[in-house]
Amino acid sequence: MKAIIAATVLAILMMYAGFVVKEKKTILSIATLLLAVLLGVNIYELLTMQEGATIALFQYQLTITRFSVWFNMLMTAATLLYVLLMGNDIIKVGKHTGEYFALFFFILVGTYLLSSFNNMLIMFLGIEIISIPQYILAGSDKRNLKSSEASLKYLLMGAFSTGILLMGITLIYGATGEFNISKFSFLQMEYINPMVLTGVLFLIISYSFKISAAPMHFWTPDVYDGSPTPFTAFMATIGKTAAFIGFIRLFHTSFASISQSWTIVLAIITAATLFVGNITAVFQQSVKRMLAYSSIAQAGFMLFSVVSVSALSWQGLVIYGVAYTIATLGIFAVLLKLKDFTFDGFNGLAKKNPFLAGVTTIFIFSLAGIPLTAGFMAKFYMLQAAVRQGNLMWLVIFALLMAAVSAYYYFRVIIAMFFKTGEPEISELSGAQKFLLVLTALLVIVLGIAPQLLLPSGI
């Protein structure tokens, strides 16, 4: 709760800083500072919380556990890392720099809500608080028509899915008379009310929009491609992970008891997502667009955490979310240094700048799930959760085949960097940026060797 309040207050501060300060660099420094403060508040909240404690606030509308606080902390840290890595590119996007940073704080508020809601009203507000700023961020490059188009598309799709989400909530309310997600009484009934099933289906569809799962993924490539690149990085990572925590929280808290009736639907969605994301990513010529499709594919893997109902899946989601976020942020940070976003733009990077090529290799390895990187451990946890589920072996094997396909397009970047010749245009790297990239790459490897760092005992 402290973090939610702090994030709101800091967002307002950030907004005013945007009015008062004109120098963009200063705004960036202020944003970094405020994010660090927010991270501090998160850590403080984590430390002051007793092990195993569950704090229920406002008549059980929020239940804050150590897990949710830990997740919030990780997301805040990821945002801080994001701002550190790409701050200089964020301030180049448009004129309203202070406002953009304020929007990040608002998105964090939404994330905090989604990690600890216990009432569907809070969930709904959390999703909207995450979504509306993202529509704005997508359209923030006003000189560029593609950005405006991305924004419009995102808005229409988002609003449409909100409508579906609300219908789902309403149907479930109609069947149970309850908005509190831990009080739904499905088990007491002799048979499952069809209204509940329809409601769950609507919720699945709506969340599929938010996390860009097939067949509701079609907006993703255009939106991610059109949005200003730094904001694409944010939407594809932290925005997506936040939607996932809401998804898993709702489905595993309240619908776990009727899981046999919806896991099959979700398993098919997962398979479709993996298929569409990976196969279409193969045919892309632009790395940015490839990353957009690969983010669909990665969402397919993250869906495993929702499909398989066990304590392991929450851990898997944390690891996957963080691993994917870090690696993708790293790739985007490198991408922003290049002038040409196609695969050919990477040609000969290893010769021209071995440092950039080296860190990119680590990020690519992580995304492709090569051992000793965080991405591998993430996939491992997900698959373990799914195998434990028992009847999902077909999905696991399909996912592994798709992971091999993903190696194909990820390795195209490596082939371009190391084995092709070219003269890539690179903008100058400052020492601090180098340091941060090294730090990110190290993080990827450390988490690949010791993933339990992300899951300390007692969360």
Partner 1 sequence: MPIQYYLFLSLALFCIGVMGALMRRNAIIIFMSIELMLNAVNLLLAAFSKMYNDSAAQIFVFFIMVVAAAEVAVGLAIIVMVYRKVHSVDVNILNRLKH
Partner 2 sequence: MILVLLILIPLLAAKLTFFSKEAAKNVALLGSLLTLGLSVYAALNCGTENLAPFALNWMPAIGAQFSLAADGMAAMLCLLTGIIIPVVLLINRNKAIDNPGAYYALILYSQAGLMGVFLASDALLFYFFWELALIPVYFLCSRWGGERRIPVTFKFFVYTFVGSLMMLSALIYLSLQTNGVNAMSLQNIVAAGKALPMMQQHIIFVLLFLAFAIKMPIFPFHTWQPDAYEQSPTQVTIILSALMVKMGLYAVLRWLLPVVPEAMAYWSDTVMTLSIAGIVYASLIAMMQTNIKRLVAYSSIAHMGLMCAAAFSGTELSQQGLMVQMFNHGINITGMWVIVNMVENRYGTQDLKKMGGLANTAPGIAIALVIISFANIALPLTNGFIGEFMLFTGIFQSASHYHMVFMAVAGLGIILGAVYTLTMVQKVAYGENNSGVLAVAKMNAAEWTAVIVLIVFIIVLGVFPQPLIDLIGIR
Partner 3 sequence: MDILQILFWLLTIMAIGCALGVVLSRNPVNSVIFLILTFFAISGHYLLLNAQFLAIVNIIVYAGAIMVLFLFVIMLMNLNADTEPQKSWLVQLAGVVSGGTLFLVIIAAISRANLLGVINTETSNIGLIKVLGQVLFKHYVLPFELSSVLFLSAMIGAIVIGKKDME
Buried-exposed string 302-324: b where 16+ CB fall within 10 A, e elsewhere: bbbbbbbbbebbbbbbbbbbbbb
User: Which residue number, 137 or 417, has a Cβ lying nearer to partner 1?
Assistant: 137
Rounded-to-integer distance, Cα 150 and Cα 130, Å = 17
180 to 239, contacts with partner 3 by CB under 8 A?
Answer: 193-195, 197-198
Tracing tokens 């195993």 back to the chain, one arrives at 52
Rounded-to-integer distance, Cα 50 and Cα 305, Å = 27
State the Cα torsion 236-222-128-321 to the nearest 10°: -20
Q: How far is the CB of 386 from partner 2 (least distance, A)?
A: 9
Q: How far is the CB of 353 from partner 3 (least distance, A)?
A: 32
State in Å, rounded, how far the first CA of the chain is from the last one: 17
**Residue 200: contacted member of partner 3, partner 1, partner 2, none (CB under 5 to 8 Å, by partner type):** none
162 is a contact residue toward partner 1 (CB under 8 A): yes
166 is a contact residue toward partner 3 (CB under 8 A): no
User: Which residue number, 145 or 268, has a Cβ lying nearer to partner 1?
Assistant: 145
Backbone angles phi, psi at 49, to 5 degrees: -95, 135
| Residues recorded for the chain | 459
126 is a contact residue toward partner 1 (CB under 8 A): no
Compute the 3-state secondary structure of the chain and give helix, strand, coil in percent, each to the nearest 5.
75, 5, 20
User: CA angle 125-126-131, nearest 5°?
Assistant: 95
Contact code string over 95-134 relative to partner 3, x by CB under 8 A: xx--xx-xx--x--x---x-------xx--xx-xx--xx-
363 to 422, contacts with partner 1 by CB under 8 A?
Answer: none
Query: Do residues 291 and 406 make contact, with C-beta atoms less than 8 angstroms apart?
Result: no
403 is a contact residue toward partner 2 (CB under 8 A): yes
Query: Longest C-alpha distance within the chain, in Å?
Result: 69
| Cα atoms in the Cβ-side hemisphere of radius 13 Å centred on 153 | 19
61 is a contact residue toward partner 3 (CB under 8 A): yes
Q: How far is the CB of 149 from partner 1 (least distance, A)?
A: 5
User: Which residue number, 173 or 418, has a Cβ lying nearer to partner 3?
Assistant: 173
Tracing tokens 């492709």 back to the chain, one arrives at 368
**Residue 145: contacted member of partner 3, partner 2, partner 1, none (CB under 5 to 8 Å, by partner type):** partner 1
Q: Is 141 helix (H, G, I), strand (E, B) or coil?
A: coil
The residue from 12, 121, 446, 449 that contacts partner 1 (CB under 8 A) is: 121
53 is a contact residue toward partner 2 (CB under 8 A): no
Closest to 98 (Cα-Cα) out of 146, 29, 188, 2:
29
Q: How far is the CB of 222 from partner 1 (least distance, A)?
A: 7
139 is a contact residue toward partner 1 (CB under 8 A): yes
The residue from 146, 351, 352, 420 that contacts partner 1 (CB under 8 A) is: 146
219 is a contact residue toward partner 1 (CB under 8 A): no
User: CA angle 411-330-13, nearest 5°?
Assistant: 155
Binding residues for partner 1, rule: CB under 8 A, are: 121, 124-125, 128, 132, 135-136, 139, 142, 145-146, 148-149, 151-153, 155-156, 159-160, 162-164, 166-167, 169-171, 173-174, 177, 179, 222
Binding residues for partner 3, rule: CB under 8 A, are: 8, 11-12, 15, 57-59, 61-62, 94-96, 99-100, 102-103, 106, 109, 113, 121-122, 125-126, 128-129, 132-133, 135-136, 139-140, 142-143, 151, 171, 174-175, 193-195, 197-198
